Amino acid sequence: HNDPHYVGDRTTMVHLFEWKFNDIAKECEDFLGPMGYGGVQVSPINENLVIENRPWYERYQPLSYKIISRSGNEAEFKDMVKRCNKVGVRIYVDAVINHMSGNAQPAYGTGGTTAKPDELSYPGVPYTSKDFNPPCDIQNYNNATEVRDCELSGLHDLNQTKTNVRDKIIKYFNKVIDLGAAGFRIDAAKHMWPQDLKAIYKKIKNLSPKNGYPKNAQCYIYQEVIDLGGEGVSKFEYNDIASVIEFQYGIVLGNMFRGKDNLARLQNFDDENAWRLIPSKDALVMVDNHDNQRGHGAGGASILTHKDPKPYKMAVAFMLAHPYGHARVMSSFAFSDPSQGPPANSDGSIISPEIVNGECVNGWVCEHRWPQIQQMVKFRNLVNGEKLENWWSNGKNQIAFSRGGKGFVAFNVEGDLREKLQTGLPAGTYCDVITGDVVDGKCSGKSVQVVDDGTATVEILSSESEGVLALHNQAKL
């Protein structure tokens, strides 16, 4: 379960957090497909508890596995998957299967289903009290049993050893596969037993060639296991059964590009043992996600987000230039209050992103459309499979490396960078795709001369608005 089944040379997915299915379908056709994005993670698609003022986190409180939420209904989901697949973009579903809702009275779902959470009664599935672990609160993260069998934030904890629970989850997953999706993010995987998850994964159908997948292809599964070391549950209990989201990664990059660590240390960032990282092929990586960008989950003040654009773009560029892991780009809505939901009308319906000159303007941040990020997604596709070579650092906070002879990047976190560096590239004039692009045969940003021996004088001053420079063989003049 560690192949995302991207089409062609694509390498990167984007989380379109809280986007509606119809808008995602259009984004696939207008932008993601043409720009070379490989996939979209959608917010939980199943029916959830409606909470007053509609915080984003209501979607992490399931009431049933019917496909109906503020993002859309089953028909809209199906149409989106079809349209995205058609332009080479896969869909991955955020799957909330550890728990149902917390207590609420009355409890109404986005599809009109009701439940009695305090009685552990969810007729929309149906689940009864027999399907849950006896309520207790997770307090001690050193106790693996407590982490798996007690309630996370008061959310009623399903017992995945029960046949009924397994069957209901498997049925839901297989329906999503039948509708053409390519895989799942497993929410709160750390709070479930690996052997139960393994038993569930075993019964998920293969992806269908009818939906454009290779024969006998297993769906992609990436599990949310927040493990920064020192707890009762380890991420290494999970990467044999499917992929794992590597939470240490964004913390390291956040510290690095905030100037709180030494960038030169990233020289061995592909040494998984040295950094205690999940093996690259099993890892999904990100700079930030929907939780830690607003202080939920783990990572705290280390995490970089769209609110710090210069270092954020550098961290995302590093992620996309560096070969480790499968990359996911975050795409947010703007917020001041961490509970705040997406832009919505007074009836609670989500407002579609409005795009003017390629930028989202009405409360959606759309980091995935920022020119520097979009260019680095293309870079990652172009250098896919090329070795990291020509590492350089000044021993402090300036680094550079190439990906074989196809691409070159340099980063400057401190001081002025002015250096003759080996780019690994064939001689010629290259256009820096961070500050511009080739337009009508001319470079609209910085130009860099690579001479016969592959070296070039690279300059990134601290006063510049971009702290990274990127060259590749498709932006050669």
Footprint on this chain of ligand LM2 (rule: CB under 6 A): 57-58, 60-61, 96, 102, 152-155, 187-188, 224, 291, 296
CB of 243 to ligand LM2, least distance (A): 16
Name the nearest CA neighbour of 184 among 170, 199, 196, 195.
170
Answer yes or no: are the C-beta atoms of 415 and 462 closer than 8 Å.
yes
Q: Which residue is nearest to ligand LM2 (CB)?
A: 102
- Give the C-alpha distances (Å, rounded to integers) separating 150 from 65, 98, 190, 271: 22, 11, 12, 35
Rounded CA gap, 340 and 328, in Å?
23
Answer yes or no: are the C-beta atoms of 475 and 431 closer than 8 Å.
yes
User: What is the phi-psi region of residue 247: left when phi exceeds 0, alpha when psi lies from -120 to 50, beta otherwise?
Assistant: alpha
CB of 291 to ligand LM2, least distance (A): 5
Rounded CA gap, 244 and 85, in Å?
24
CB of 299 to ligand LM2, least distance (A): 12
Nearer to ligand LM2, 152 or 315 (CB): 152
Nearer to ligand LM2, 261 or 291 (CB): 291
Task: Respond yes or no: is residue 187 known to be catalytic.
Answer: yes
CB of 151 to ligand LM2, least distance (A): 9
Nearer to ligand LM2, 38 or 102 (CB): 102
Nearer to ligand LM2, 33 or 117 (CB): 117
Answer yes or no: are the C-beta atoms of 280 and 208 closer than 8 Å.
no
CB of 289 to ligand LM2, least distance (A): 7
Name the nearest CA neighbour of 474 among 440, 422, 433.
433
- The one catalytic residue in 47, 94, 196, 224 is 224
Nearer to ligand LM2, 57 or 141 (CB): 57
Answer yes or no: are the C-beta atoms of 377 and 371 closer than 8 Å.
no
CB of 427 to ligand LM2, least distance (A): 48
- The one catalytic residue in 27, 187, 246, 367 is 187
Nearer to ligand LM2, 192 or 376 (CB): 192
- Residue 127: both structure tokens together: 């689940």
Give the active site residues.
Answer: 187, 224
